Chains A and B, each alone.
Chain A
């Protein structure tokens, strides 16, 4: 009998090709790296002119996902500041049971997990979960269409920040407090805004309100991205090679060789464990249109959080009011490094918040059983779609032909 499914033997030669391709790509990037690094060094010597170029892009309202230098030299590095003896480190993360039109009923679940780690106290951290099931029409539909995965993700992001705002209100009176999401502060839903404007606007407004609540509580806030795929600084370096009169949309739409396929992370490998890079302003139109008017313009920096080998580079996003408050900025910087000491360059509270929030496949099944029980009690004969039923039949056991 032959086992069907993913027949790995049929992919062997492709996997070999994949490995060879990765090797080739790396060799190509390594070949171009000295040129990119030299451009970085040259650009850092002309920071004022570079900033003018970046600002002219914004002034011309060109769509450009680059970065604007601040007063800090763009190739500077900053050592880990002193960590306060006592500080509250708060993180929240979310998980969900997605909306599934093949399921027995139309619903989705968002579960937010959070942790308050009281640095300097010997007590166990406080942990919370906040699960909620959504099933009303207004939860499921938007303009006659069921909510997309991105829309539900945006609602989850919103709840994560809402939980941080709630906890910041409780904790920040007691000690310096920093709140973290393990995501960008710039909502992804904004990039999809054209197809669902009023939905996105509502989410963004509430998101910015939560940022304001955190600001008023006196706590700091940051979004942290591990293995960032961003290329904002790479685009800035590409911009540095253009003359002022060459700054036109066509020249900025794509980066060309030698910058092609480079990620910012590679540029900041010079950071030693514990060091952060200079601050930059995220030069996206969404940042200017939505975040800036409320004082939440997003800045970012790169940080070597330590860990195995030469360390782990994280991208850290903060609102303007954190970037311009040295105590808050230092707290963000120091607490990430401190929290990453025993977890190889990724903050402990993030790992725990994820663990607290995650909905396992077992829990998902148990919840489905609860829903089924509720429907049966009301005289329904709930069933999944025939497609889902077929999948359950074939996926629960071994497949043989």
Chain B
């Protein structure tokens, strides 16, 4: 069974936010590929984590100034208290009939749906084409360039080692097409990708 890293708090066709308790060292990470069920399990909305926020909490605020805070208090706050860590995800495509569509999903996931990380095979399959990059480039209120750079590196890691450079060069070419009128931005992005 696929690991659950959180449950959905709110969503739209453009993006969704899920809550989770204490983040594990591995998940969730900025730029990671995640999926959420949609259309009663017929589909999965694929997304990229673009923000991880821990909400302000007056109770915690009061404790911050305490020197030598015992570990039990810290663990109580992190493990027991229901203060969710909010993770924002940009929708970049969806699964349909065994394949992936690089477009906005027809329906968003529903409240309390389980959010899971995409495994390497899914990421490799999803990134066989790179049409989804335009959804990131032109998404409002998203650190698009950083997100593209990090997610492409993560996707490259899912390729066989001999194919990684080729994958990143293909990505660079796709970005060059999409940013042909914004060479300054393209240059910065390619530097981030170290192509």
Contact = CB atoms under 8 A, between A and B. Distances in A.
B78 A124 contact: yes
Contacts of A344: 62
Interface in A341-389: 341-344, 348, 351-352, 355
Interface in B29-87: 59, 62-63, 65-66, 69-73, 75-76, 78-81
B80 A122 contact: no
Interface stretch (A100-108, A113-121, A154-162, A191-199): A113-121
Contacts of A140: none
Contacts of B78: 124
Interface of A: 115, 117-119, 121-125, 127, 341-344, 348, 351-352, 355
Given A118-B72, A125-B72, A125-B76, 12 more contacts: A119-B72, A122-B75, A123-B72, A124-B72, A124-B79, A124-B80, A125-B80, A127-B80, A342-B66, A344-B62, A355-B59, A355-B81
B59 A351 contact: yes
A119 B62 CA distance: 20
A341 B78 CA distance: 19
Contacts of A121: 72
Interface residues of B, number: 16
Contacts of A348: 73
Nearest 7 CB-CB pairings of A with B:
A124-B75, A342-B66, A122-B71, A124-B79, A342-B63, A125-B76, A127-B80
A355 B69 CA distance: 20
A178 to B, nearest CB: 15
B73 A342 contact: yes
Interface in B148-190: none
Contacts of B79: 124
A83 B73 CA distance: 17
Contact of B62 (A115, A118, A342): A342
A30 B59 CA distance: 34
Nearest to B68: A341
A117 B63 CA distance: 16
Nearest to A89: B72
Interface in B112-147: none
23 contacts: A119-B70, A121-B72, A122-B70, A122-B71, A122-B72, A122-B75, A124-B72, A124-B78, A124-B80, A125-B72, A125-B76, A127-B80, A342-B62, A342-B65, A342-B66, A342-B73, A343-B63, A344-B62, A351-B59, A352-B76, A352-B81, A355-B59, A355-B81
